[in-house]
A and B are shown apart, each in its own frame.
Chain A
Amino acid sequence: MTTTSDPYAGSRETTEGRVYTVTGGDWDATLGADPHENERLVVNMGPQHPSTHGVLRLVLDLEGETVTKARVVIGYLHTGIEKNTEYRNWVQGTTFVTRMDYLAPLFNEAGYCMAVEKLLGIEVPQRAQTVRVLVMELNRIASHLVALATFGMEMGALTGMTNGFREREMVLDLLEEITGLRMNHAYIRPGGLAQDLPEGAVEHIREFLQVMPKRVADFHRLLTGQPIWQRRLKDVGYLDVTGCLALGVTGPILRAAGLPWDLRKVEPYLGYETYDFEVPTADTCDAWGRYLVRMSEVNESLKIIEQALDRLVPGPVMVGDRKIAWPAQLSLGPDGMGNSPEHVAHIMGQSMEALIHHFKLVTEGFRVPAGQVYVPVESPRGELGYHVVSDGSTRPWRVHVRDPSFVNLQATAAMSEGGMIADVIAAIASIDPVMGGVDR
């Protein structure tokens, strides 16, 4: 051993042997002098964190409390709904797509059914269109209430959460009365609706219309004027129109950036052009603006519901074509919901054709001419697009859903990088992603 020098420690010979003097003082020269360099921290937020809106995972690079990089990892809720629809008939597809964005099930159903109807080249009866508008706007209110409620919860305003969910329950009660289910309704079907509005529903909706404006005002009193709430939201999650368009962001986020882009206005469907309502916008481009836009949209939806109720006239809620229209009229029997006794009597005792149609449609389904369409609707979160391809058979060849949550979630990095870690929560809450729709 004839080592004469050690690059990291000087040494000298003593009577006890060789002694090293470890200095290590050159670390600064080796690593650079950035005092925050060592504070870089990678944090995995989720997929179970309560404020990540479901199973969303964020990988955050932090320097101190500043987010330098935000990566979003999704897919934890992937259920293969698009693939599954390819193995079911066209009517069954409704039952699948309603489960994607579970806060806006009726928008999924409406978008899917409108795509199938466009492929078929049919138009649904007026009453069915009006009821579709009615239930969709009810659903929009429920969805926005969840967005606002979880927003409150994530910002620490827990009363906002309890209030929001309480109000949403009123809407869910109405939807349960109309469709039979609180969520996953499968109420809108290709060609119309599963069934007409039940007796008493209109009165109950009118009662709701009386109550709800007061509750919205309460919400404003609870949160809007509150200084802490404002300071948590203002200038947080900034994204302007250019950023929105580049990232494909639509819905309240785009409208909070100042662009009044609402498909109900710019590409009207289901007769939305005949309803009188405003498209609320804000020009703040931040979480605060998105909060205000959602609050205003609840009021606009109430206006639309009222108009829809006023124009409800008796009529069919399913197309007249017996080769497309689902034949069974449902009614509530002693053993639950099922085919009405009148319908069973009709097909079993009166009409051979009705029996044939019932049998063919239930076992085989109807055929949809080959082709492809893209049908967008304005869901509470933005453009919900259905790209549906038919090969002419009784099943979809391909159903692709352009889910607004999926696209909007891409803006997370743009909204939160360079900000504080606490503002990441505000930014994501203002996007209002629903992971069922993101992952499908």
Chain B
Amino acid sequence: MSNDGGSNVVPGREEAGYDDATAPAGGFRKGAFGVSGSGDTSGFGGLVRVEPGGAVALHSTERPYGGWFDEVTDALAEAVGQATYDAAVHRVLVDRGEITYFVAREHLLTLVRALRDDEALRFELLSSVSGVDYLDSGGPAVTPGRPRLHVVYHLTSMTYRRRIRLEVAVTAEDPHVPSVTATYPTADWHERETFDMFGVVFDGHPGLTRILMPDDWDGHPQRKDYPLGGIPVEYHDATIPPPDTRRAYR
């Protein structure tokens, strides 16, 4: 796992103060009912959110990845050069039969162009671009300046019938990611939606405007700190708060 010093690099376990001894196993919750500590699941023990999935953004898989994952990784490293690959991909995660490359934004365009054009890769189709906001996703990963906004690209190779995922993480203070529209024109609306909903600015996009929300809308609704809205409803002498402020199990 290399750190190229860019501001958009997901902090490694060390930088984030991740302590394996005290961390919950893998950062994953265990058991269907999420029992920990006293085992109280009644809700009266205090509905505190505990150790949810910082794990999603922190784990990495070591070689070999298995199946065709190694083949694609080798081909990618060969296509862009090992040095560029090492600088660009700082983490790889294989989970549930899917492979995710965590990519530094400086090298995103080099990677997607190679992924589309290289004969051994041939990811012709950009299936989807989506944003994920990991704000307060808890656990050891929360440190100041941690890149909370992730842009996730799902690439499909129709030639080899493979799918991979690229993930670029940026901070909310500097939410700039280069646009991949020059390589994948289909990214146009996807990136506009991600900008609209998460405020990620795609540099080089031909017309980065809001797409689903009205043009004069304030804020980016799918960020986790954006209030859901809604009003309390009174019902039979009880007041039901809006969904995002209700008492809830986590």
B178 in contact (CB, < 8 A): no
A365: which of B132, B193, B249 is its contact (CB, 8 Å)? B249
**Cβ–Cβ contact B127 & A80, under 8 A:** no
Cβ–Cβ < 8 Å partners of B197 in chain A: 82
Most A Cβ at <10 Å: residue of B32, B138, B158: B32
**Given A75-B212, A323-B33, A410-B189, A374–B98 Cβ distance below 8 Å?**
yes
**Given A261-B158, A367-B33, A390-B53, A83–B228 Cβ distance below 8 Å?**
yes
* Chain A proximity mask over B217-250: 1 for CB below 8 Å, otherwise 0: 0000110000010000000000000011000111
**Cβ–Cβ contact A398 & B132, under 8 A:** yes
B101 to chain A, nearest CB (A): 13
A199 to chain B, nearest CB (A): 33
B203 in contact (CB, < 8 A): no
A118 in contact (CB, < 8 A): yes
Q: Would you list which residues of chain A between 359 and 403 have a CB under 8 Å from chain B?
A: 360, 363-367, 369-374, 376, 383, 385, 387, 389-395, 397-398, 400, 402
**Given A369-B29, A371-B96, A410-B189, A364–B152 Cβ distance below 8 Å?**
no
**Cβ–Cβ contact A248 & B28, under 8 A:** no
**Given A246-B185, A248-B184, A389-B56, A360–B96 Cβ distance below 8 Å?**
no
**Given A248-B184, A367-B31, A410-B188, A75–B56 Cβ distance below 8 Å?**
no
Cβ–Cβ < 8 Å partners of B124 in chain A: 245
A246 to chain B, nearest CB (A): 5
* Chain A proximity mask over B94-125: 1 for CB below 8 Å, otherwise 0: 01101010000000000000000000000011
A392 to B49, CA, bound (A): 11
Q: Would you list which residues of chain B between 157 and 192 have a CB under 8 Å from chain A?
A: 158, 161, 163, 165, 184-186, 188-190
**Cβ–Cβ contact B213 & A78, under 8 A:** yes
Most B Cβ at <10 Å: residue of A392, A393, A439: A392
A275 in contact (CB, < 8 A): no
Closest to B194 in A: A400
Cβ–Cβ < 8 Å partners of A75 in chain B: 210-214
Q: Would you list which residues of chain A between 299 and 357 have a CB under 8 Å from chain B?
A: 323-324
A373: which of B96, B137, B222 is its contact (CB, 8 Å)? B96
Q: Mostly helix, strand, loop or mixed at chain B's interface? A: loop
B128 in contact (CB, < 8 A): yes
A422 in contact (CB, < 8 A): no
B56: which of A246, A365, A371, A406 is its contact (CB, 8 Å)? A371
Closest to B224 in A: A86
A88 in contact (CB, < 8 A): yes
Closest to A82 in B: B222
Cβ–Cβ < 8 Å partners of A372 in chain B: 56, 95, 98, 100, 132, 152, 165
A87 in contact (CB, < 8 A): yes
Cβ–Cβ < 8 Å partners of A369 in chain B: 28-29
A267 in contact (CB, < 8 A): yes
**Given A365-B249, A387-B154, A400–B130 Cβ distance below 8 Å?**
yes
B91 to chain A, nearest CB (A): 14
Cβ–Cβ < 8 Å partners of B188 in chain A: 410
B161: which of A80, A87, A266, A400 is its contact (CB, 8 Å)? A266
**Cβ–Cβ contact A370 & B27, under 8 A:** yes
Q: Would you list which residues of chain A between 70 and 85 have a CB under 8 Å from chain B?
A: 74-75, 78, 80, 82-84
Closest to B31 in A: A367
B12 in contact (CB, < 8 A): no
A66 to B31, CA, bound (A): 63
A383 to chain B, nearest CB (A): 6
Cβ–Cβ < 8 Å partners of A285 in chain B: none
Cβ–Cβ < 8 Å partners of A389 in chain B: 53, 56, 132
B41 in contact (CB, < 8 A): yes
Other A-B pairs, 15, CB within 8 Å; known A387-B128, A410-B188: A75-B211, A78-B212, A82-B222, A87-B228, A250-B125, A259-B158, A323-B33, A364-B41, A366-B32, A370-B29, A374-B127, A391-B137, A393-B49, A398-B130, A402-B127
Question: Nearest 5 A-B pairs (CB), nearest first?
Answer: A248-B186, A391-B53, A370-B53, A400-B130, A402-B128
Residues of A within 8 A of B (CB): 74-75, 78, 80, 82-84, 87-88, 118-119, 121, 245-250, 259, 261, 266-267, 323-324, 360, 363-367, 369-374, 376, 383, 385, 387, 389-395, 397-398, 400, 402, 406-407, 409-410, 439-440
Q: List 25 A-B contacts (CB under 8 A).
A: A75-B210, A75-B211, A83-B221, A83-B222, A87-B244, A119-B96, A248-B186, A267-B161, A364-B41, A369-B28, A372-B95, A372-B165, A385-B127, A385-B128, A389-B53, A389-B56, A392-B28, A392-B52, A392-B55, A397-B137, A398-B132, A402-B127, A407-B189, A410-B186, A439-B212
